[in-house]
Structure 1
């Protein structure tokens, strides 16, 4: 579904991604793990069109999307839940969700997706008139995920969904990610919590300073002694 082939990305003079190649098959959850600053979020931002690779190709369903405008990439059914949630604080829950559907004109489908978001995230249904900025971190994370789902993506890019959340909420968020995947959405997940990420992913890539150092089956990587020592607390 998604193929990243030997991309190099720079922030000014800083070489952030060094010959990165990743592929994601339809129906998978693929996770990118690694320390802060390894380049995980940069990969998602490059797929989304927020950064342009200097060299290399990114193809989605056979079409080269490297360097395309971000709004065109959303129209191709790729949606990102950004790191830090980035909800529109002075707008209500409902208005945030409506913005997620801004590229759509199928009013019946949009209504169905509102219902689905409220079923998946009952707290959002209770707070649909509340300003997003007054909600807890966990509720804002649910809203950011709901907003991304309103564009009905075939590929969902999730950037650090567990950041700053209590352990109980982290488990809830990861359970919802599994449910989203089971209902037909392919997921590329960037996550600091390697243990949780590897527990739900099919495959994983390990990044260190802009390079992929390991790749493989998520369960096998979770069982690897090197990965346990480096990312799973021994």
Structure 2
């Protein structure tokens, strides 16, 4: 579904990702794991058209999206749940979800809002509460729900567990698995490598802007280098 090949991107004179290549097959959960500053979020921003690569290609469903604008990429079928959630703090839960459907012109938006509320009942209870007054976990649910409102074929999740309590993290990863089981392909960026690898089919390890390892999630979880660097020295 998504093929990233030889992509170079960064900020000004700083090159954050260096000649990276990876694939996300349709129906899979693929993880990009790595430490802070490895280039994970830059990769997500580049796929979404928020940054433009200086080299390489990004193909989605056989179409090169390198030079497309972000709203056109959303229309084509990719949504991003950004790092730090970035919900609209001064708008209600309901309004945040409506904004997630801003590229759509069909008459099923209300139906999809109800589907988000079924997935996250707490958001239904707080539908007219301002987004900024929600807990961190509730804001993450809202960020995921907002992204789903665009009806993506491919959902990009950037550090969905960041800053959340362990029980909430467990719920979020369970939700990611359910969204995938319902037919949405997922590219997951995570510092919580253990949790990411538990739910992923395939994984890539990013270090200082370069992919240094890749394989099935089980292969990566059992790799001694990954165990030492990201899994506390042992696998589960």
Q: TM-score w.r.t. structure 2 length?
A: 0.98
CA offsets, 1:140-165, max 9 Å, x none? 00000000000000000000000000
Mean Cα displacement is larger for which, 24-33 or 112-121? 112-121
Give distance in 2, aligned partners of 1:101 and 1:71: 11
Structure 2's unaligned 5+ residue stretches are none
2:75 match? 75
Looking at structure 2, the residues matched to 77 and 170 of structure 1 have their Cα atoms a distance apart, in angstroms, of 26
The Cα of 1:220 is off from its aligned counterpart by: 1.4
Q: What is residue 214 of structure 1 aligned with on the other side? A: 213
Aligned to 1:83, what secondary structure does the other structure show? Answer: coil
SS at match of 1:111: helix
Q: Deviations over 1:26-82 (max 9, x none)?
A: 000000000000000101000000000001000000000012111110110100000
Tell me what 2:49 maps to: 49
Distance 1:85 1:10 in 2: 22
Q: Spell out, residue by residue over 1:101-153, the C-alpha distance to the aligned partner (whole angstroms, 9 max, x if none).
A: 1111212x212211210111111010000000001000000000000000000
Match of 1:186 in 2: 185
Distance, in Å, in 2 between the alignment partners of 1:220 and 1:50 is 32
TM-score, normalization by structure 1: 0.98
- Separation in 1 of the partners of 2:52 and 2:40? 15
For this pair of structures, how many residues does the alignment match? 233
List aligned pairs for 1:53-64, cutoff 5 A: 53-64=53-64
- Are the equivalent residues in 2 in contact too, given 1:9–1:52 (CA < 8 A)? yes
Which residue is equivalent to 1:196?
195
Runs of 4 or more consecutive aligned structure 1 residues displaced over 6 Å after TM superposition: none
- Give the CA RMSD over aligned residues: 0.6
Q: The residue matched to 2:227 in structure 1 has which SS? A: helix
Instruction: List aligned pairs for 1:9-28, cutoff 5 A.
Output: 9-28=9-28
Whether contact under 8 Å (1:35, 1:192) holds in the other structure is yes
